[in-house]
């Protein structure tokens, strides 16, 4: 198998040198560099081998970083990004575990906390409750193949869902438990997606740098009788997840 340093740039054609290097690096990323814990060669090494300036090398790498193929860790180097998980979360109403299993990955969950708390205005509005009502707050960190993928902060009406306080939601599916206990199906969701940056809390739990992009999704899910049963705030790692929208006209 040829290596990165078997390649050469063609300085006699009009294609910019940074773009030629970008294409060589992309082929190397996709086909050769299989240890994701080892950085790619440094700017200095690439500059010396290809006999081009450091700014030209940096431009090629910067574009691959922006496009999500590479990421940098200060004082450690530039690394190949793990493949993104194609999420149907915005199109299909299903549990996280089922979504991840469909991708051929192994899901797991860590419950960070679960307790009865008082609802603020946003929670009350979403769940059609009086402000200050008792709700269950469930905080979870969810994984795919041992990689932290999403932090989920979930609020549920205490009156209907107090049985959850006795359940092991690291081993059981939240949706399956609710549907079994209430004898009702979860049939509809309203979701809102925006981009935010990781703070210290998200950085530590999701293992991303502070300031890294995060996909922030607010969801309200409804039972078959029309009653809202769950309000959740989910923060997905931007480097590991991509979401698809499908529209018809």
How far is residue 146's CA from residue 106's CA, in Å, rounded to a whole number?
A: 8
Structure tokens at 234: 């989910």
- Per-residue exposure over 210-237, b if at least 16 CB sit within 10 Å of its own CB, e if not: eebebbbbebbbbbeeeebbbbbbbbbb
Tell me the pairing of strands 147-157 and 134-144.
antiparallel
- Is the pLDDT higher at 146 or at 42? 42
To the nearest whole number, what is the mean pLDDT of the chain?
Answer: 86
Structural domains of the chain, with CATH: 4-80 (1.10.10.10), 85-243 (3.40.1410.10)
What phi and psi values does residue 198 have, to the nearest 5 degrees? -70, 130
> pLDDT: is 85 or 45 the higher one?
45
Task: Tell me the CA end-to-end span of the chain in Å, nearest whole number.
Answer: 48
Long-range contacts at 127-130 (CB < 8 A, ≥ 24 apart): 127/155, 127/156, 127/157, 127/220, 127/228, 127/229, 127/231, 128/227, 128/228, 129/157
Residue 228 in this model has a pLDDT that exceeds 50: yes
Distance of alpha carbon 127 from alpha carbon 230, whole angstroms? 7
Read off the pLDDT band of 1 (50, 70, 90). Answer: very low
132: tokens are: 């200050």
pTM: 0.63
Q: Point out which residues pair with 179 in neighbouring strands.
A: none
Q: Residues 196, 141: contact at Cβ < 8 Å?
A: no
Q: Tens of pLDDT along 211-225?
A: 888 889 899 999 999
Return the higher-pLDDT residue of 65 and 164.
164
| Length, in residues, of the chain | 249
Condensed to tens digits (0 to 9), the pLDDT of residues 171-214 reads 999 999 999 999 999 988 888 888 888 899 999 999 888 888 88
């Amino acid at each position: 198998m040829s290596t990165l340093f078997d390649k050469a740039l063609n300085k006699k054609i009009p294609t910019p040198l940074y773009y030629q290097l970008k294409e060589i690096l992309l082929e190397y990323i996709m086909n050769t560099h299989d240890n994701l814990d080892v950085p790619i060669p440094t700017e200095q090494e690439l500059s010396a081998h290809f006999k081009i300036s450091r700014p030209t090398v940096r431009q090629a790498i910067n574009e691959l970083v922006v496009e999500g193929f590479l990421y940098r860790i200060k004082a450690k180097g530039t690394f190949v990004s793990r493949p993104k998980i194609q999420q149907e979360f915005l199109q299909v109403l299903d549990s996280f575990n089922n979504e991840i299993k469909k991708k051929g990955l192994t899901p797991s969950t860590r419950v960070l906390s679960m307790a009865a708390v008082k609802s603020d205005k946003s929670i009350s509005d979403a769940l059609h409750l009086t402000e200050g009502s008792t709700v269950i707050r469930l905080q979870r960190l969810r994984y795919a193949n041992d990689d932290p993928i999403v932090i989920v902060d979930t609020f549920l009406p205490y009156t209907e869902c107090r049985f959850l306080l006795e359940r092991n939601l690291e081993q059981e599916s939240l949706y399956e438990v609710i549907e079994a206990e209430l004898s009702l199906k979860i049939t509809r969701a309203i979701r809102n997606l925006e981009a935010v940056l990781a703070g210290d809390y998200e950085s530590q739990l999701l293992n991303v740098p502070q300031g890294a992009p995060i996909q922030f999704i607010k969801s309200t899910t409804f039972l078959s009788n029309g009653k809202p049963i769950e309000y959740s705030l989910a923060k997905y790692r931007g480097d590991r997840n991509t979401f698809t929208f499908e529209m018809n006209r």
